[in-house]
């Protein structure tokens, strides 16, 4: 087992990743595969927190563009992230990984409230902490929630697991000659409007010099490779 590069990480997964091939709902095979990878990483003595989007169930932004009240749509999106958080908790606990779900919206029957110091304590005890319900506020994405929580718990890096193997100059599915970046600065991302994280999340990371690594989570073993310091995907960091 190699020496890990990071001791405490925040893994951000898009909801669509849990949808597997179908891209919506929760695919049991996919969520189990991700849970097994997380178990591998935790076995390397890495403290891991998790933020999962809700796009596989409900997208607040998409609903608001069709006339729904944005705040209401965003709250529905936050509840969708809680469904994913509980599903991931179940998948992890089935394979013997201790977890805690903390929600930014009070729902004491299913999850702990988000308490920063408690979250850090769980991590120190080797538990995986899953942060649900975004920041608890409408108009903020789960990307922003991931940046915020990563900073609060003192994570060394945000690992953003997507279905693409990094950041490209254009959509590689539409533009075959699009080039993949191995490294980018925060300013590049903001100026070029690259689809890394939204501008609020990127600015937060820039202000606090928190690196973001974007990689393909569907490739088996990739989460562990990133934690071990292998150069996969795209890293976004300061100049």
CA distance 82 to 211: 26
pLDDT digits (tens, 9 = 90+) for 106-140: 999 999 999 999 999 999 999 999 999 999 999 99
On whether residue 223 sits in a domain, the answer given is yes
Question: Model's pTM, two decimal places?
Answer: 0.94
pLDDT digits (tens, 9 = 90+) for 35-93: 999 999 999 999 999 999 999 999 887 888 899 999 999 999 999 999 999 999 999 99
On whether residue 114 sits in a domain, the answer given is yes
On whether residue 25 sits in a domain, the answer given is yes
Look at residue 1 and tell me whether its pLDDT is greater than 60: no
- Exposure on the CB side of residue 55, measured as CA atoms within 13 A: 19
**3 state DSSP class of 188:** helix
On whether residue 1 sits in a domain, the answer given is no
How many distinct structural domains can be found in the chain?
1
Name 10's Cβ contacts closer than 8 Å, sequence gap at least 6: 48, 49, 50, 51, 146, 149, 150, 153, 155, 157, 158, 159
On whether residue 52 sits in a domain, the answer given is yes
pLDDT of residue 129: 98
On whether residue 167 sits in a domain, the answer given is yes
Domain assignment of residue 119, given as a range? 8-237
On whether residue 3 sits in a domain, the answer given is no
pLDDT of residue 22: 84
pLDDT digits (tens, 9 = 90+) for 14-24: 999 999 888 78
> 2 falls in which pLDDT band (50, 70, 90)?
low
Average model confidence (pLDDT) across the chain: 93
Beta strands in 36-132 (DSSP E): 47-52, 99-103, 112-113, 128-132
On whether residue 48 sits in a domain, the answer given is yes
Task: Report which of residues 173 and 128 the model is more confident about.
Answer: 128
Query: Tell me, what CATH number does 150's domain have?
Result: 3.40.1160.10
> 193 falls in which pLDDT band (50, 70, 90)?
confident
pLDDT of residue 119: 98
């Amino acid at each position: 087992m190699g020496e890990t590069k990071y001791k405490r990480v925040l893994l951000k997964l898009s909801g669509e990743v849990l949808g597997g091939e179908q891209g919506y709902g929760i695919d049991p095979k996919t969520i189990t595969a991700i849970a097994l990878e997380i178990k591998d990483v935790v076995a390397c003595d890495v403290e891991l927190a998790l933020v999962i989007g809700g796009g596989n169930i409900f997208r607040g932004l998409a609903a608001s563009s069709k006339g729904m009240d944005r705040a209401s749509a965003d709250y529905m999106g936050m509840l969708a992230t809680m469904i994913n958080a509980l599903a991931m908790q179940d998948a992890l606990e089935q394979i013997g990984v201790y977890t805690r779900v903390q929600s930014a919206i009070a729902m004491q029957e299913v999850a702990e409230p988000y308490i920063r110091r408690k979250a850090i304590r769980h991590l120190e005890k080797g538990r995986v902490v899953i942060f649900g319900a975004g920041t608890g506020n409408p108009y903020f994405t789960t990307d922003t929630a991931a940046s915020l929580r990563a900073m609060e718990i003192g994570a060394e890096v945000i690992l953003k697991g997507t279905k693409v193997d990094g950041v490209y100059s254009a959509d590689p599915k539409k533009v075959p000659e699009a080039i993949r970046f191995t490294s980018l600065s925060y300013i590049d991302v903001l100026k070029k409007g690259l689809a890394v994280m939204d501008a609020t999340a990127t600015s937060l990371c820039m202000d606090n010099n928190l690196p973001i690594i974007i990689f393909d989570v569907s490739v088996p073993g990739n989460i562990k490779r990133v934690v071990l310091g292998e150069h996969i995907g795209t890293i976004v960091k300061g100049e």
